[in-house]
A and B are shown apart, each in its own frame.
Chain A
Amino acid sequence: MPPHVPRVGSPSGEPPPVRIESSGFVRAALASGRWARTAKALAALACAAFIAGCSHDDGPWRLTDVTGHLPDLAFKLTEDNGQSVDATAFRGRTTLVYFGYTHCPDVCPETMARLMQVLEKLPPADAKQVRILFISVDPARDTPQALHAYVSAFDAEHIRGLTGTDAQVESLAKRYRVAYQMEKRDPNGNYEVTHSSAVYIFDRDGRARLLATSGDSPDAIAQDLRRVIEHDA
């Protein structure tokens, strides 16, 4: 067929011929029954691996996929050890970011406890790759020391408490469209903070990948998190 003739709608209506290259060695191997069986078994194995790979890496995410919709992880804050830290310190780790505050008795500790359950559901090698960043939206009360005591009460190995100046926290919250607002003070000067309940998941390169909300079960979070960790590995 000359190169300038389009294949589709060729007068003959015949599909272009497919040529199978087969060396004398392969032909000889296929001729023998033993080789044929081996080749079949190998092919079946390859297919099984392919399908298993598909079910693990493809298909819909159980969490909200935000890939390409949110900026990479970037910040300059103070860690609970008192040292200043930026996002590059967490490159190479799969990072779960939560905006909360320590004077929050219900939703914040509940979310952290849920993330602890997620870590338990991961294979230990995967859990090791995870860092949970508890970023305070109440920097006035959440000093590095206060955050250190707080995150240590959960899990000092995987969680880091981060705080900063009002401006630092505000710009970071804006970057991820996180809303938070200090509520009226009570007579004792205490106050609540209205805040986002979502957990942002960044891959090892700092790319925003998934968003987990309060309705997502530890199972769903663990399953998707595993995909992010193992796909990147």
Chain B
Amino acid sequence: MSITSCLRNQRPTATIAALTAALFCLGAMSSTPASAAGAAAVSATNAWIRWLPSNLPAAGYVTLTNASDKNIDLTDVTSPDYGSAMLHQTVSNGSTTNMVMVDKATVPAHGSLKIAPGGYHIMLEEPAHKIAPGDTVHVKLTFSDGETLVAPFTVKSPATAK
């Protein structure tokens, strides 16, 4: 259904609202995802995935920067390219390490959160299609201020990834 056909059956106020929303969406689509919606407090940089063969669980990493003066939590992660995405944390306990699932990770006010190897990671499982190094996949990040961000993640080979 096109936007115009969709608008035809609407009341005038709803039409204006729909039109505004449509223009907003078009504007958002034309800008880069990291700065989508302009007003979003959190932006994403250096987003990448360490690819592993045989559909093994992969880890996604990203640096989140919070431009606002309030702490904002990353509360949910999903991906159209993977059946399962979860925020995990690697925890060291003396000489051993293990992974635990976490509900949220805080991006400090006027600061950044590095989701990086050995700390937090986004565990990605059940790829929805064939994914290989060099591809770009997307991860949707949901924050406690109600904003969402769909960030492009570069898929890297496990040996060269840094």
Contact = CB atoms under 8 A, between A and B. Distances in A.
Interface of A: 102-107, 109-110, 112-113, 116, 146, 149-150, 152-155, 179-180, 183, 190, 192-198, 213-214
Contact of A116 (B58, B93, B125, B159): B159
Q: Is the interface of A mostly helix, strand, loop or mixed?
A: mixed
A194 B50 contact: no
A106 B118 contact: yes
Interface string B63-101: 000000000000000000000000010101101111100
B158 interface: yes
23 contacts: A102-B54, A103-B56, A103-B57, A104-B57, A104-B99, A105-B58, A105-B59, A107-B90, A107-B97, A107-B99, A109-B59, A109-B158, A110-B118, A113-B50, A113-B158, A113-B159, A116-B159, A152-B53, A153-B52, A154-B159, A196-B96, A198-B95, A214-B118
A179 B97 CA distance: 10
A112 to B, nearest CB: 7
Contacts of A155: 159
Given A106-B118, A113-B159, A197 B96 contact: yes
Interface of B: 50-54, 56-59, 88, 90, 92-93, 95-99, 117-118, 121, 123-125, 157-162
Given A105-B52, A153-B52, A194 B158 contact: no
Given A193-B98, A196-B95, 16 more contacts: A103-B56, A103-B57, A104-B57, A105-B52, A105-B57, A106-B121, A107-B99, A109-B161, A110-B50, A113-B159, A113-B162, A150-B54, A153-B51, A155-B159, A180-B96, A214-B118
Contacts of A110: 50, 117-118
Contacts of B96: 179-180, 194-197
B75 to A, nearest CB: 20
A140 to B, nearest CB: 15
Contacts of B53: 149-150, 152-153
B140 to A, nearest CB: 19
Contacts of A179: 95-96
A113 B161 contact: yes
A192 B159 contact: no
Contacts of B99: 104, 106-107, 192
A153 B95 contact: no
Nearest to A197: B97
Contacts of A150: 52-54, 56
B158 A197 contact: no
A107 B59 CA distance: 10
